[in-house]
Amino acid sequence: MSSYHPLTEQEAIEIAQSIDGFFPAGASLSCKEIGDGNLNLVFHITDSVSGKSLIMKQALPYAKVVGESWPLTLDRARIESEKLILEGKLAPGLVPVVYKYDKELALTVMEDLSDHVIMRHGLIGGTRYPLFADHISTFMARTLFFTSDLGMNQQEKKLQVKTFINPELCKITEDLIFDDPYTVTPNNNISPAIADAADALTRDGELHFEVALLRDKFLTNAQALLHGDLHTGSVFATPESTKVIDPEFAFYGPMGFDVGAVIANLLLNYAGQEHWSADDLARSDFRQYLLNTIVDTWKQFEEKFRALWNEHGIDRLANSAPGYQDFYMRRLLQDTIGFAGCKIVRRIVGLSHVADIDRIPDDAKRERAQRLALEIGTRLIKLNRNAASIEQLIEEVKAASK
């Protein structure tokens, strides 16, 4: 069974049985393929006797969402498993444990997190996550700082850049986030109701200038090892616990791309509240909770990142040059805001959308949510290089919501 082919559920059970010591003797295993993402197969394997379970994620040689016409490297499974293992060391308790990686089968066997809920679904259902800002800011501060030239040996970092070179998945991001939404292409997925707003995106020179700068940063700035796709569908959460999954888009890029992804997806839920809240008071209360979470996430991230730098910084000049840390953090905030804007816009007019908006059943409410998201996204892109505080992002969101 060792040469690559997509597994059947029965084959997944046989592999699970061969993992030494995981399932006890006498286990009775069942398996279900539960993958709901754009790219991979995910098998959930449970032992009805002991109650133990695990997850097997297998890369397909193409993008599942489109089909075999879009071939995709299996090496992404290696990147995902190596990144998960590294994240487990840098941010213990905030990612699933990896039990095994099989290169031939492009397969990662990991901890089953089914006692958590995908955060996007939780937010849509109105659940609040009071510890999320603390957990995700720790995850980002530690994984970004300790893989950057500020926090690790700079020669080793260059070797790590090589290990995590990920051109095919980066190309998806370059096209879907930093190109397609601003041009006319069949790759886009645009509701007819917002055709005018989508058309405006293709003709806005000021916007294109800012997106071109952000695209250049994504293409060229190997600042830290990113998760690369840190949206709320890549977070398993409960009110007490947060686990980040799915780092197959990992590569060395600009830190603000990860922080911006978190903020963008909280704002997509904010826009989606057009429908999900039962009444105006509940809606504005949940929206305020989301905005507070954004501010808390940034502020805690900044505080933790600065503390790591002050304690573990390895770059003499970066550590000591007057004003350098403040300049660096301000630029990181600006990148965060710009990338957040790009990641909102792509989920409204690009190929891949989000349930927070698309599953709104009422056409008029869905259209309002889409327009609000585009207004927020474009405002953030235009704000990015002028921003000096996270409060300015909140002001733009409030102005867009009027």
Ligand X SMILES: CSC[C@H]1O[C@H](OP(=O)(O)O)[C@H](O)[C@@H]1O
Ligand Y SMILES: Nc1ncnc2c1ncn2[C@@H]1O[C@H](COP(=O)(O)OP(=O)(O)O)[C@@H](O)[C@H]1O
Choices 16-24, 112-120, 198-206, 262-270; region in contact with ligand Y by CB under 6 A: 112-120
375 is in an annotated binding site: no
Rounded (10°) CA dihedral 225, 253, 58, 100: -10
Distance CA 286, CA 301 (A): 22
The pairs formed by 92-97 with CB atoms below 8 angstroms and a separation of 24 or more are 94/135, 94/138, 94/139, 94/242, 94/243, 94/244, 95/139, 95/243, 95/244, 95/245, 96/55, 96/236, 96/243, 96/245
Of positions 38, 127, 187, 392, contacts ligand X by CB under 6 A = 38
Nearest CB to ligand X, comparing residues 16 and 63 = 63
Smallest gap from Cβ 114 to ligand Y, in A, equals: 5
Residue span 108-147 as binding mask against ligand X, x where in contact by CB under 6 A, dash where not: ----------------------------------------
Question: What are the angstrom distances between the C-alpha of 79 and each of 76, 90, 343, 361?
Answer: 5, 16, 22, 37
Nearest CB to ligand X, comparing residues 63 and 294 = 63
Total residues belonging to the chain = 402
Does residue 39 belong to the site contacting ligand Y (CB under 6 A)? yes
Distance CA 159, CA 164 (A): 9
Structure token digits, residue 379: 């405002």
CA angle 361, 364, 367 (to 5 degrees): 90
Smallest gap from Cβ 78 to ligand Y, in A, equals: 14
248 is in an annotated binding site: yes
Beta bridge partners of residue 251, listed in sequence order: 226
Amino acid identity at 39: L
Of positions 16, 90, 118, 172, contacts ligand X by CB under 6 A = 172
Out of ligand X, ligand Y, none, what residue 118 binds, judged by CB under 5 to 8 A for its kind, is ligand Y
229 is in an annotated binding site: yes
Does residue 37 belong to the site contacting ligand X (CB under 6 A)? yes
Structure token digits, residue 228: 């690369």
Nearest CB to ligand X, comparing residues 181 and 233 = 233
Of positions 16, 29, 63, 266, contacts ligand X by CB under 6 A = 63
Structure token digits, residue 26: 């006498």
**Residues 6 or more apart whose Cβ sits within 8 Å of residue 200:** none
Does residue 36 belong to the site contacting ligand Y (CB under 6 A)? yes
Structure token digits, residue 252: 């060395």
Smallest gap from Cβ 378 to ligand X, in A, equals: 19
Smallest gap from Cβ 103 to ligand X, in A, equals: 21
Question: What are the angstrom distances between the C-alpha of 7 and each of 57, 130, 188, 235?
Answer: 10, 39, 31, 25
Out of ligand Y, ligand X, none, what residue 9 binds, judged by CB under 5 to 8 A for its kind, is none
Angle between helices 363-383 and 390-401 (to 10 degrees): 140
Of positions 87, 246, 367, 396, contacts ligand X by CB under 6 A = 246
Distance CA 156, CA 386 (A): 34
Choices 4-12, 30-38, 305-313, 383-391; region in contact with ligand Y by CB under 6 A: 30-38
Residue span 202-241 as binding mask against ligand X, x where in contact by CB under 6 A, dash where not: ---------------------------x---xx-------
Choices 18-26, 111-119, 145-153, 186-194; region in contact with ligand Y by CB under 6 A: 111-119
57 is in an annotated binding site: yes
Distance CA 38, CA 181 (A): 19
331 is in an annotated binding site: no
Rounded (10°) CA dihedral 223, 227, 231, 234: -170
| DSSP class of 178 | T
Of positions 114, 153, 220, 284, contacts ligand Y by CB under 6 A = 114
Smallest gap from Cβ 118 to ligand Y, in A, equals: 5
Choices 39-47, 302-310, 345-353, 376-384; region in contact with ligand Y by CB under 6 A: 39-47
Which stretches of the chain bind ligand X, using CB under 6 A?
A: 37-39, 63, 65, 172-173, 176, 229, 233-234, 246, 352
Which stretches of the chain bind ligand Y, using CB under 6 A?
A: 34-40, 42, 55, 57, 96, 110-114, 118, 245-246, 248
Where is the binding site for ATP, in residues?
A: 40, 57, 111-113, 246-248
Where is the binding site for substrate, in residues?
A: 229, 346
Where is the binding site, in residues?
A: 40, 57, 111-113, 229, 246-248, 346
